[in-house]
Chain A
Amino acid sequence: MKAAVVIFPGSNREHDIAAALEASSGRKPVFVWHGEAEIPPVDLIVLPGGFSHGDYLRCGAMAAHSPVMRAVKTRAEQGVAVLGVCNGFQILTEAGLLPGALLVNAGRKFICRNVNLRVETSQSLFTNRYERDQVLSVPMAHNEGNYVADGDELDRLEGEGLVAFRYCRADGGTGDNPNGSARDIAGVFNRSKTVLGMMPHPENASDPAVGSIDGKGLFDSLAAALK
C-alpha cells in the first residue's frame, strides 16, 4: 500500500499516522504539502489531525480550499481511498467529500481522553480486520467533534450502513457520548465507502507502548485491502 499524508499549516500527529501506516504496510508514506496541486500515485490519501489555519472561521474551512484539495477530490472521485482523522474529518466535511458538519462539543470543553468506539461494520476497506460490534479504546482530542447533519441525512447514513464508528460504553452499549454527536456518530463513510472521516485517533492506539493497539486494526485493514 502506497500512502500520502497531506500536511496543512497547523497539522499535527502526521508523524504518528505515518508510523502507524508504515507499521501496518511496511512502506513509508510520502508527505504532501497543502500548496501542492498534485499528489503522487497512491492507494490511500490521509488528512491528519491538527488545527489547520488556526481553526479560524470554522475548523477545516480554509484547508478545504487548499490547492491540494482539488487533487484529493479528483482522486476520491476515481475511487482512491481517503482517510480523515480529527481535523482531517472536519476538512472532508467542509470540502463536501463527507456529509454533515462538526460543531463545538456540547459540553464546551476540549476533551482529550480515551473513548470507547463500537465498530458498526467490518465490510469496508478501513474496518475489515475488526468484527462488527467490536469495542475499541482509542484516544480523542478535540474541541469541535459534535457531529451534526439533518434528520433525513442521518436516516440515510444509517439506512445505507455508512456509520463507521459510534461512541459507546466499555460494554458496547449506548450511553457514553463525549461531545454530543448526533446518534453517537464518531465516524462516517461516503456513499462508496472509500472515504472515511473519524474524530478519534486510531494512530495513537497503534503501538503497545501507548497502552492500546485497538486502532491498529484500521491500518491493518487498509494494508490488507490496498496491497
Chain B
Amino acid sequence: MKEIVVISGKGGTGKTSLVASFAALAEKKVLADCDVDAADLHLVLNPKINYREDFSGGKKAKIITEECIECGECEEVCRFDSMYYPDPENEIPCVNPIFCEGCGVCVRVCPVEAISFDDAVNGEWYVSSTSHGPMVHARLGMAEGNSGKLVTIVRNKAREIAEKENLDYIIVDGSPGIGCPVIASIAGADLVIVVTEPTLSGQHDLLRAAELTAHFRIPTVICINKWDLNPDIAEQIETAAKERGIKDVGRIRYDTAITKAQIMKTSVVEYTGGAVSEDIKQVWRNTIYALG
C-alpha cells in the first residue's frame, strides 16, 4: 500500500482537480481530503456519508460568571488576549473562544475555580462512499484552529481503511502553504506531488514546498499545471527542481475543460477525452512509476 499526497505551496494550482482525476484513474484506492479548512474534493466526488464523528482540537476555557470574584488574574496570565469584558458595569471577563488556545493557564490560576475547561467540538470528520471508492474527509468549524490534528485523524482513518480492504493506494488532497496542516499531511508519506503553475509566484512557492519535503526527507516529484501559459517559466521551474534532485511527473496544458468539469461536478478525465485528459493520464502513469 502506497500513500501519495498532493500539495502545492501556492494555492489554486489544481490540487483538487488532479486528485479527482486520480480518483477516477487509480484502482483499489481510498481518498482522503486533508485540506480541512477549505475542503473541495467532495464537490466533485459527491460522497455518501456512512459515518461521522465530532472532532475536538482541544479544550477551551469558559468563565462561570456566578463564581467569578472579578480579581482579573486570568486576564493577566493569558498570552493570547482571549479575555474581554462584555459588561461595562462589572469586571467579569468572558473568553473569546476564537482566540483561546486552550493552554489552561487561566484555569489553573483562578483562585475560586470559576473557569471550566472542557473539550470543545470544532469540526467533524466523515467516512463516505463514492463511485470511485471510499473517502475520508472533514470539516473544520468556523474560525477554528488545530487543523493539523484533524488532518492526522483523516489520514489515520484512510490508512485503516486501506489496510482492512487491502487497497493499493491512499490518495491525499493536501492544503496550500507549508505550515501546520501541510506538515501533518505529508509526514511519513511514500510520495509527495507538488502541483505548481508556470508563474514566478508558483516557482517561489514550489521551492519552499520542496525545501519542506526535503526537511522531512519525503520523496517528492513535481507537476506543472497550465504549463503553456508561460513555457519559459515552466522550463525554468523544471530545471530548478532537477537541480534539487526532484523529477517531474509531467505537464498539464491549460484547458477550460478543467473548470467545466468542476462545474459539471465530475473529474476532468471523465468529462473529456481530449488532450488535457491524456496529459493527466500520463501524470498518473509517471506517478506510479515514481513510486517504484
- A and B: bona fide binding partners: no
Residues of B within 8 A of A (CB): none
